[in-house]
Every structure is written in structure tokens, then in C-alpha cells.
Chain A
Amino acid sequence: MGKMLKRIFFIAKNHLKLIIITSLLAIVINVGEISRPYIIEIIIDEFLSKGIVDNGKITIMGLGIIYIGIVLVQYFLDFIVSSLTNIIGDNIVYEIRNKIFNFSQKANISFHDKNNSGKLYVRIINDAEDVYALFTDVLSTFLKDIVFIIAIIGMMIYLNIKLSLMTFVIIPFLYLTIRFFMKILNKIYAESKNIRTMLNSFLAESIYGIKLIKIFNIQKEKELECRDYTNKFKKAKFPASLIYGLIPIAMSFFENIAISIVFVVCTKHLFNINLEVGIIYVFVTYIKSVFTPIERLIDNIDVLEDAMSSINKIYEILEQSDCIEDFEAGEKLTDVKGKIEFKNVWFAYEGENWVLKDISFTIEPGETIALVGKTGSGKTTITNLINRFYDIQKGEILLDGINIKNINKKELRTRIGTILQDPFLFAKSIKDNIKLNREIDDEKINKAIEEASAKDFIESLPNGLDEISKERGDSFSVGQKQLLAFSRIFATDPNIFILDEATANIDTYTESLIQKSIDKLSKQKTAIIIAHRLSTIVNVDKILVLEYGKIVEQGNHKELVNSGGYYSKLYNAYYESLG
């Protein structure tokens, strides 16, 4: 709990002044609220009971005007307080969102491996929203309500301590009942939330896999599964309605018990209590008004629960501060030649599960190498290490003789152009997708798409370079996306070029275009290719054959075929398959 409060405090830190001001104003509002029954008391006892309209000091009319005056001031302030609360809440959400987003952008790839994009989305969008509810719905009313309850109790004691103490008898019972209800509600919420998550992920999966479901004729099985989830959800939620049915009844029970105590005590003149009728009226009104905030408190319990767990989840993310990449540190490069050396590199994504074991190799400037091996042999890992998406545990990676740990990360990455297997496109125009926020003029872009042989395909689009890509580039084939990725490289001219060849089938024409770009780039730059096509492999300067994180063979195609090792077997199998 202490940790929780600290977190809330930290979130609210920038707005403490406003929060204090709103809290103080809330007290003023409460004073108004509490004084109103008191005015009625005066009217009842001083005027109505005596049958007069003017007691020499003030008239009923005067009191009525004061009453309405209080109403006006009270609600004017109320408007200001609630608007301020909303402004605080919205600003807090704004800050939190920025903070998480900022974090997620600056966090390293290990972090993103652990926190998939769906999870981050929920943190930035939904969880932040829960925090808003915490500050507006809960904390502001919560504070106001607590102050109100205390003030009411204070007023009652001030009016008549003995009578107050008599009515306070119900407080322990009330407390126990509320705690009992809250406990049950918490349980119900946890359970139904769980089932809702299960139902929703089931739905998401079924939606995504609809074609498969149809092809394999398992609609019925899936329907039954769905029914099972919806049924469970209904059952889990039903008890909540029972509790919500009971709470107002319990509240009205306690309310009427307390009111009855007041009436009985006053009728019997217990403990010599002899009150004017107006005072009794005030007591009854106060008792009634205390129950509204209490009910509101119970109503807000799930908002509070959600917010607390959301804050915890947000902090789970923000606390991984060791994942943040430092973009300031490190050497700036001047003239990059493009020599890459791996010296006894050991790497594990986690613990001691070595993905790369004692890897050493050198790529001279301008050389092209191919990484060959089965899935899981460590090919992609090697390219990720050159980009410094991950840091190695043992050994050294050098660029032009400088340990890449000492090179500025941003600088390093701009020197390396990477093409992923399935390049990612943003839902922006083709032009922006090639520019990627960098300063590149139109002329250069036109040159780049020409060099990447992407011009024909781009010009065949209805809007050419201004054509907007669908989410994730869904409107383009993998081959087309690779052509665009090549255009990105040609537009920025990095020193080192990394390509993860697509495994998906690409039609022969597009493939020949891609091949052209590969040839061009590997002539100009140091190139590292995760190769799947023999045609690529036979042309490179050096082939590294990887198996289970080790380099088992290296050399050019001829050497390796002649050596009769792993590669030659692979090659022969392929050759025979063609017959």
C-alpha cells in the first residue's frame, strides 16, 4: 500500500499545487452543503414553530435569500473544482502516456521481445485511461466525500455529543457490512475479468483464423467453445448483481436505524436529551446525506481496483529502466570504411542459453558475406548484434577496429542499412515510407526508387509516390515491400548493408529486380546477407555456415562444395532435387 501511495504521489507530483487548491475549495463547498440544513433548522425553530416571519434580526425571506446565495456560490465553486480535477486528470494521462511511449521507443529490443506490441498498446491506451478515472472519479470525489463525512460527524457532535454518540453505534456494523460486500465484489471482479480476457483472446484468435476454421470445418467446435466462455462469464458476473441489489438495501437499513435512534432518544428524552424539532431535522438530514458518499465509495471500488492494477502494470514497464538505450554516449564516427570483426563472441538472450558460442570472423570493407544455416542457428542474431539491438556477454564486436560498445548507437545504426524479411511499412505515403522522417529531397528519392528498380511498380499505383500504404503495408506483397526497403537504403546510402532474404515465395520478375539491387549494393558496401537462395550464396565472397550457434564452415562456394562438409551436402540435396 505504501508503495502504491508513493506511485500515485509520483504520478501526481507535477500537479500538487492544483490538487491542494481543489481540495481546499472542496472543503469550502462542503461547508456550504452542511450549512444548508442548518438554515432550515433556524427557519423551523425560530420562525415556523413560533408562527412568525420576522424575529427582529432577520426575516424568513432573508434566510431564504441567504440559502439561495449559498447554493449559487457552492455550485459555482463546484464547477471550478470539477473542471480543475478534469484538467489535472487529463494532464496526468497525457504525461503518463508520453512517459510510457517515450520509454517504449527508447527501450532496447530485449524489452520489446518481452513486452509485445499488444501489451504496450494496452499500457499506453487503456491503462493510462484507468489512471484518469483514478484521479477524476475516485480521488477527487473520494477526497471530497471523506472530508464531507468527517465534517458531518463533527457537526453532529457539535450539535449534541450524546445523541451523536448514540447514532454512531451503527458505525462498526456498517463498516463490517461494507467490508464484507467489498471483499465479495473484489473476488467477483477478479474472476469475471479473468474470464473476459480469456473470452476476448479466444475471439481475437477465431477472427484471425477464420479461413482456417472454415477450411477445416471446425465451426461447431469453435461455437461450442464460445458458448462455454460466454456462459462462464455470465455466471461469474451474476453474483455481482446480487450484491449490488443488497447494498442499497443494507444502506437504507442502517440509515433508518440511525434515524430511528434519533427519534427514539428524543421522544424518550434519554440522557436528558431535549432538542428542538429543527435540530432533530438537521440530525436526520445529516444522517441521510452521509450515506450517499458511502454508497459512491462502494460503487467506485472497481474503478479503484482497475486503476491500482493499471498503475502497477505501468510501473512494471517503467521500472525496467536498464532497458533504456543510451543515445548520447559513445563515439561519433567520421569516415566509416566498413570492416566488421567478431572476436570470440558469446551471446545469450537469457541466462546461459547460448545462442552464439565463441563466434569469430572478419568482414573486410566492401566484402559480402552470406550467413547460411537452419532456423535457430543464430543467423538473425548475428545481424541484430551488429546493429547493437542486443549487447553481447563475452567477446568483442568491432567496426573499423572500434568496439561497437563505444560507438554512439544512433550513429552506428544510421551507418547500417537493414532490410528485414518482411519489411514494415507505416500507414503513410510511399514517399514518407522511404524518407522515414529523414531529410531527403524529392530528387534523391526519385533516384533511389530508380536504383532499387521500384519505379515501375510505384508508378503503376494510382497515386504513385503519394499512395498511402495500408496498416503494416498490408496492401503490398512481400516482394514489393522489399523493393521499397531497398529504396530506403539507396536513399540514405549507409556504409553497411544487411539483408534478411525473404523466405516467402516472390515471383520471378520481382526476384530478379531484388537480385539486381543486391548485386549493386554488395559491390559498393560491406554486405551481410542471411541467404536462402543458392543464386545469392554462390556469388558472395565468403559463406559462414552456422549450426547451433557455432560457425561450422567458412569459405567461398567452391571451397565449401569441395570440402565435402555440411554445406556440400546441403548443396547436393538441392541440386538433386532439381534433377
Chain B
Amino acid sequence: MNKVLKQWLKKSYIKIILILVLVFLNIYILTYPPKIIGNIIDLLYDIPNNGNEIYKNIFYLMLTVVGLFLFRLPWRTMAQNQILEFEKMLKDNLFTHYMKIKMSNLQNIKNGEIMAFFTKDSNEVRRFIGFMFNKTARIVAIFIIATYSMIKSINIKLTLISLLPIFIATLFVFIIKEKVEKLSSIARNNFSKLSEFVQESTNGIRTIKAYSGEDDQIQEFEIKSKKLRDSDIKVSVLSNLISTLTNLGFGIGMGLSILYGSNLVINNEITIGDLVAFNGYITMFVDPIIWLPQIITKFKLAKISYKKLQNFFSLEVEEIKYIEERKGNVLGDIVIKDLTYNYPANIEVALKNISLEVKQGETLGIIGTIASGKTTLMNLLLRLYTVPRGKISIGGIDINDIKLEDLRESICYITQEHFLFSSTIEENVKLFRDGYTADEIIDSTKNAMIYEEISRMEDGINTVVGERGVDLSGGQKQRVVISRAFLQKSNIVIFDDTFSALDNKTEESLLKNIRSLTKDKTCIIISNRISDIKSADKIIVLDDGEIVQKGKHDDLINENGLYKKFYLQQSSKIDSEVGDLIG
């Protein structure tokens, strides 16, 4: 975060200084109109003699507009441009960082929180910087320049007397502000409670309806909503008190300035025009006094967000080392030696003493109970998490020495979550990469057994899917995702429980296609169905992070163990039924 700030300051510091100079010039120009109007008022008392003088002053008055044009416009546009630049820089950096963060660091952060970094927290910081440019700089400038003008061109005692109530009011404001902050945080808390509740109720609507729980939900919502309303009202009323106090300070200050100023006029110490000008100066303080307490709020909010972003930025990223200069695919021989692993900050061991070897051209089948470590093993193979040295090698190279990009390029991992980007089917198959011919893409969808269904859609492969497009069924999504495996030219292909939503016929054909695709590649199929893995060259059975059995289908079914148990469970009923049929 500091880095982003520095980067921005480095790029913009000249402009920032220029902006600050422009702010002062602007305020300086703004002190002229009251003075000029005061002058004219004095001159108006003797119009016959002062005609020309009055016109001259009117000319000056219009000149200030020209001055404003010359300084204010560049100030505002430059300031705004810098703020927008900062916002862009921050978001770009956040995104780039996010792309690189190690998966292990993302485990405990909710997606909503990350989204808030990009929206709420970035905005809070941006707003504070905007506030500094637009308001704080002006506050300082006005305090210095206007006070100086008042003292210099009119009367120091008058200045002190009139500003006194304003500053007393400001003091009270700061005291109340504390209380407002406290109430606001309660209100914010109520707000997030309500919004969480809404999220849950809308997501779970089918369940709610199925048990007729609508009325209870409505009741609970109304209670939460009411709580929020009441805390919001408290905050607003107290905030109103703040602006009332400020306004009172000004009103009384004005009144005092008239009382004491009139005295000065009567004693010929100042002119009527001076008094009018003085009124004009006081009005210049209105905005800054209103803004002053806001600085604290804005700063506090920005500080919270800044810290959050700071933490996010300090999350460790994946290193991209260039130890072994290799272009593209790594050879597909996978060797795992005595790998034991537990997730960071997790006591439970996810993998225990895993050793195995798969040669290029071979197919490995993995079956196991739930949470037995199948997906963990794959996560490590892709180095989504830090892998201990000397435990996994691919193509004879320790995977820590393979360029991360090359590693992931060489492995095509089809996951069980069938996530599609909101884009066309084509983009989802080729994943936004160019360099594939139309035929290649079509072939890959054919191989994944989804081509026919795609071509039946109105826009074919250009059909937009995802959030803003057509909602495909689970099975269709899976097959779109599987198409990727047929398109990418990776040496290692992994299917992690990817056939669950497919019917047997489709699955059978798909497996055939996969066999011919991976004839010369390393293929790993993870599944709980024996039928998916039975033809694999090697099968391992995982239980509780350990390999409990290893071998080929024909051997394993004759061995007493988990595999046989799975096999019997999945086929026993059929056997008895078939027996009945034949008999």
C-alpha cells in the first residue's frame, strides 16, 4: 500500500505541488470581491464625484472572474485527474497483487471481503485523498489568507471578536464528534447485520418456501431493519446538532461583528464599506468550518481501509523464479517422494508419506474417501501451495525449480467446480487466449461431448454464458470446462471429479476420447466411481491422507481393502439384480 502511495507521489508530486499553489492563488483571488464591493459601497455615498472610480471597481470585480477561470479550472481538473489516477493505480495494483497471492493466504478471506478491498476500501482511501485536495488545502488557505486580509485591511479586534463564537462552536463540535463516531459504528454494525440477513434470505428462498418460513423471516427482518433505523436516526440527530452549532457560531459572530463594527464606524475607525467587506470575509469561513470536523471522520475511515489494504498487500505472493530456463511444456514424468503436508495454520495432516511415480503416457487413477487428500495432492502438484523441497519432481526437475508459469502451462487441471466466466462459450474454452483455430476449438467441444448441444443454441459457440448470459445446466458446464483439456497442449492432464453430472453413456464416450487424447500424455483421473478409473495403468487409494492401496484394477479387486469395498458397494446390487434376471 505504501508502495502504491509512493509510486503515485513519485509520478505526480510536481502536479500535486502545483495544485497546492493553485489552491492558494484561488483563495487569494476570492478575497478580492468582498473588498471591491466594500469599496464600491463607500464610493456610492458620493456618486457624482466617484463615477469613474466605481466603474473601475466594477471592472476589477469582473477581473476576479477571469482570475478564477485561469486558476480554478486547472486546479479542479488537475486535482480530479490525480485522484482518478490514484484510484486507477490502486485498483490495478490490487488486482495484480491479487492474481499473484498464494492460495494458502486466501483461505481465510471471504470473497466479499476481497471485493470490498476493490470497492469500499479503495473508495475510502481515494475519498480521503480527494478531500485533502479539495477541502483540506482550502481550509488551510482560507484560514491563513482570509484572517490575514481581515486583520490587515480592516481591524484586528473586530476580527477576534467575530471569530470567537465560531471557534467556540468548533470546539463543541469536536466534542460531539466523538459521540457521533461511536454511534456511527453501532449503526454500521447494524447495517452489516441487516445486509447479511438479506443475503441469506434471498439465497435460501427455496428452502424457506419449502418449509413455509416466510413469516418468520419477515419478522426477523423487520426487527433488524428497525434497529438499523433507530441507530441511523440517532446518528443523524447528533450530526444535525453539529451543523446547528456551527451555524449558530457564525450567526452570533455576524451579530457581534455588526455590533462592534458599527461602533467602529461611528468612531470613524473603519468605513461602512469595510464593515460590508468584513461580512464577506466571515462568510468565507462557513465552508471550512463545516469541513473541519469531517477531516477526522474521513481520516478515520480512510485509516481503517488503508490498514486493511496494507494487510492485503503484505500477503505473500507466488514467486516466479527463473532457475531453469525452459520454454513451455515440462516432460510429464511425475515423481513424488515421501510427501507429508499440512495446510498452513492447520494442525491436521492433509497428506502423509505419499510416494508415487507416473510416467509420461501413463494414466493414474485416484479414488478415496471424502477429505482423503486427493485435491490437496493436486493443489501441490500445481504449486498452488508451497511444496517442500525435494518431494515432488516433474520431468526430473524439482517443482520448486520450474518456472511457475511453465509448470502450470504443462498441467491442464480440470476441477470439480464448473466455473464459467461471463463471456462466450468460445472464450471459456480457450480462456481468453489467442492462437487457436476455429476448427481446433470445435474439435475440442466435440471431444468433450458438448458440441451438439452448443450447435443447437441460437448463437452456437458465441453464446454468452455466466452471470449475464445463458444459464447452462451443471452437466453442460462440466463439459464446456472439459473442452479445455482437449484444446490445451499440456503434457499432463488432470480430471478432478469432473464427470459427476454426466449420464453413463456420455461419460463412456468421453472417457474413450480422453484415453486417445492422453495416449502420450500423463493423465490423472480422480473419481469415486470405479468405472472412471478401472482402466488406468495405476490406481492409488487414498484414505485420510495416506495411500492405503496401490496397483491395477484387476489386482485391487482381489485384494482385501477399501478398493474392493468400493467395488462391491457399487456393483453388488447390480450383480444380485442381474442374477435375478438371468435366473
The finding on whether chains A and B are genuine partners in a shared complex, rather than unrelated, reads: yes
Min distance, Cβ B286 to any Cβ of chain A, angstroms: 9
| B524 within 8 A of partner (CB) | no
Instruction: Find the residue from B37, B41, B207 having the highest chain A CB count within 10 A.
Output: B207
Residue pair B84, A234 in contact (C-beta under 8 Å): yes
Min distance, Cβ A228 to any Cβ of chain B, angstroms: 10
* In the complex, chain A residues 245-282 whose Cβ is within 8 Å of any chain B Cβ: 245-246, 248-249, 252-253, 256-257, 259-260, 263-264, 266-267, 269, 277, 280-281
Contact residue among B55, B415, B421 (Cβ-Cβ distance under 8 Å from A211): B415
Residue of B nearest to A502 (CB): B500
CA of A211 to CA of B104 in the docked complex: distance in angstroms?
Answer: 11
Interface size on B, residues (CB 8 A): 155
Which stretch of B9-17, B238-246, B293-301, B437-445 is in the interface? Answer: B238-246
| B51 within 8 A of partner (CB) | yes
Instruction: Find the residue from A43, A64, A504 having the highest chain B CB count within 10 A.
Output: A64
Chain A residues whose C-beta falls within 8 Å of the C-beta of B54 in the assembled complex: 263, 267
Min distance, Cβ A477 to any Cβ of chain B, angstroms: 6
Residue of B nearest to A79 (CB): B244
Known contacts A246-B73, A281-B41, A561-B581; is A506 also within 8 Å of B370 by CB?
yes
Contact residue among A93, A215, A492 (Cβ-Cβ distance under 8 Å from B229): A93
| B20 within 8 A of partner (CB) | no
| A60 within 8 A of partner (CB) | yes
CA of A117 to CA of B236 in the docked complex: distance in angstroms?
Answer: 30
| Binary interface encoding of chain A residues 217-252 relative to chain B, with 1 for a CB under 8 A from any of its CBs, else 0 | 111011101110011011001101110111011001
Residue pair A248, B505 in contact (C-beta under 8 Å): no
Chain A residues whose C-beta falls within 8 Å of the C-beta of B114 in the assembled complex: 207
Chain A residues whose C-beta falls within 8 Å of the C-beta of B530 in the assembled complex: 578
Instruction: Find the residue from B75, B209, B382, B553 having the highest chain A CB count within 10 A.
Output: B209
| A427 within 8 A of partner (CB) | yes
Chain A residues whose C-beta falls within 8 Å of the C-beta of B433 in the assembled complex: 218, 221
Chain A residues whose C-beta falls within 8 Å of the C-beta of B262 in the assembled complex: 43, 47-48, 53, 60, 64
* In the complex, chain A residues 432-477 whose Cβ is within 8 Å of any chain B Cβ: 436-438, 471-472, 477
Chain A residues whose C-beta falls within 8 Å of the C-beta of B574 in the assembled complex: 534, 538, 574-575, 578
Residue pair A209, B421 in contact (C-beta under 8 Å): yes
Contact residue among B40, B75, B416, B573 (Cβ-Cβ distance under 8 Å from A263): B40
Residue pair A488, B88 in contact (C-beta under 8 Å): no
Chain A residues whose C-beta falls within 8 Å of the C-beta of B222 in the assembled complex: 98
| B503 within 8 A of partner (CB) | yes
CA of A438 to CA of B208 in the docked complex: distance in angstroms?
Answer: 12
| B87 within 8 A of partner (CB) | yes
CA of A125 to CA of B195 in the docked complex: distance in angstroms?
Answer: 7
Chain B residues whose C-beta falls within 8 Å of the C-beta of A403 in the assembled complex: none
CA of A212 to CA of B423 in the docked complex: distance in angstroms?
Answer: 15
* In the complex, chain A residues 72-127 whose Cβ is within 8 Å of any chain B Cβ: 72, 74-76, 78-79, 82-83, 86-87, 90-91, 93-94, 97-98, 101-102, 104-106, 109, 112, 117, 120-121, 124-125
Chain A residues whose C-beta falls within 8 Å of the C-beta of B65 in the assembled complex: 249, 252-253, 256
| A17 within 8 A of partner (CB) | no
| B118 within 8 A of partner (CB) | yes
Chain B residues whose C-beta falls within 8 Å of the C-beta of A112 in the assembled complex: 202, 205-206
Chain A residues whose C-beta falls within 8 Å of the C-beta of B474 in the assembled complex: 375, 503
Contact residue among A101, A263, A492 (Cβ-Cβ distance under 8 Å from B201): A101
Contact residue among A44, A121, A240, A573 (Cβ-Cβ distance under 8 Å from B202): A121
Residue pair B64, A207 in contact (C-beta under 8 Å): no
Chain A residues whose C-beta falls within 8 Å of the C-beta of B395 in the assembled complex: none
Residue pair B87, A121 in contact (C-beta under 8 Å): no
| A414 within 8 A of partner (CB) | yes
Q: How many CB-defined contacts (below 8 Å) exist between A and B?
A: 402
Residue pair B41, A223 in contact (C-beta under 8 Å): no
| Binary interface encoding of chain B residues 107-139 relative to chain A, with 1 for a CB under 8 A from any of its CBs, else 0 | 000110011001100000000000000000000
Contact residue among A48, A109, A215, A256 (Cβ-Cβ distance under 8 Å from B415): A215
Residue of A nearest to B52 (CB): A267
Residue pair B272, A49 in contact (C-beta under 8 Å): yes
| B516 within 8 A of partner (CB) | no
Residue pair A72, B468 in contact (C-beta under 8 Å): no
Min distance, Cβ B199 to any Cβ of chain A, angstroms: 6
Residue pair A477, B370 in contact (C-beta under 8 Å): yes
| Binary interface encoding of chain A residues 142-168 relative to chain B, with 1 for a CB under 8 A from any of its CBs, else 0 | 000000000000000000000000000
Residue pair A437, B240 in contact (C-beta under 8 Å): no
Min distance, Cβ B289 to any Cβ of chain A, angstroms: 14
CA of A238 to CA of B82 in the docked complex: distance in angstroms?
Answer: 10
* In the complex, chain B residues 528-583 whose Cβ is within 8 Å of any chain A Cβ: 528, 530-531, 534, 553, 565-567, 569-571, 573-574, 577-578, 580-581
Chain B residues whose C-beta falls within 8 Å of the C-beta of A234 in the assembled complex: 84-85, 87-88
Residue pair A249, B73 in contact (C-beta under 8 Å): yes
* In the complex, chain A residues 524-579 whose Cβ is within 8 Å of any chain B Cβ: 534-535, 538, 557-558, 561-562, 569-570, 573-575, 577-579
Residue pair B431, A216 in contact (C-beta under 8 Å): yes
Residue pair A227, B211 in contact (C-beta under 8 Å): no
Contact residue among B196, B213, B488, B500 (Cβ-Cβ distance under 8 Å from A427): B196
CA of A98 to CA of B433 in the docked complex: distance in angstroms?
Answer: 47
| B1 within 8 A of partner (CB) | no
CA of A510 to CA of B110 in the docked complex: distance in angstroms?
Answer: 28
| B491 within 8 A of partner (CB) | no
Contact residue among B69, B226, B419, B421 (Cβ-Cβ distance under 8 Å from A249): B69
Residue pair A64, B80 in contact (C-beta under 8 Å): no
Min distance, Cβ A410 to any Cβ of chain B, angstroms: 4
| B77 within 8 A of partner (CB) | yes
Chain A residues whose C-beta falls within 8 Å of the C-beta of B79 in the assembled complex: 241
Chain B residues whose C-beta falls within 8 Å of the C-beta of A418 in the assembled complex: 210
| A205 within 8 A of partner (CB) | yes
| A389 within 8 A of partner (CB) | yes
| B276 within 8 A of partner (CB) | yes
Residue of B nearest to A248 (CB): B72
* In the complex, chain B residues 41-74 whose Cβ is within 8 Å of any chain A Cβ: 41, 44-45, 47, 51, 54-55, 57-58, 61-62, 64-65, 68-69, 72-74
Residue of A nearest to B210 (CB): A418
CA of A215 to CA of B232 in the docked complex: distance in angstroms?
Answer: 46
Residue pair A61, B201 in contact (C-beta under 8 Å): no
Contact residue among A68, A109, A263, A535 (Cβ-Cβ distance under 8 Å from B255): A68
Contact residue among B229, B382, B505 (Cβ-Cβ distance under 8 Å from A91): B229
Residue of B nearest to A579 (CB): B534
Chain B residues whose C-beta falls within 8 Å of the C-beta of A505 in the assembled complex: 370, 416, 497, 500, 527-528
| A180 within 8 A of partner (CB) | no
Which stretch of A7-15, A196-204, A297-305 is in the interface? Answer: A196-204
Contact residue among B55, B213, B229, B275 (Cβ-Cβ distance under 8 Å from A437): B213
| B194 within 8 A of partner (CB) | yes
* In the complex, chain B residues 171-229 whose Cβ is within 8 Å of any chain A Cβ: 194-196, 198-214, 216-218, 221-222, 225-226, 228-229
| A208 within 8 A of partner (CB) | yes
| A482 within 8 A of partner (CB) | no
CA of A91 to CA of B229 in the docked complex: distance in angstroms?
Answer: 7
Residue pair A214, B81 in contact (C-beta under 8 Å): no
CA of A61 to CA of B85 in the docked complex: distance in angstroms?
Answer: 55
Min distance, Cβ B506 to any Cβ of chain A, angstroms: 9
Which stretch of B93-101, B305-313, B332-340 is in the interface? Answer: B93-101
Known contacts A414-B212, A426-B200; is A210 also within 8 Å of B106 by CB?
yes
Known contacts A43-B262, A573-B508; is A558 also within 8 Å of B384 by CB?
no
| B501 within 8 A of partner (CB) | yes
| B303 within 8 A of partner (CB) | no
Residue pair B213, A75 in contact (C-beta under 8 Å): no
Besides A102-B221, A222-B95, 4 other A-B contacts (C-beta < 8 A): A101-B225, A105-B218, A267-B54, A472-B200
Interface pairs A-B: 3 shortest CB-CB: A241-B80, A71-B251, A245-B76
List 28 A-B residue pairs with CB atoms under 8 Å apart, sorted by A's residue number.
A48-B275, A53-B266, A63-B258, A64-B256, A67-B255, A71-B254, A76-B244, A78-B244, A82-B236, A86-B233, A86-B240, A87-B237, A90-B236, A94-B228, A117-B202, A200-B115, A200-B119, A206-B98, A216-B484, A218-B431, A226-B92, A241-B81, A267-B44, A267-B47, A505-B527, A535-B573, A569-B505, A570-B505
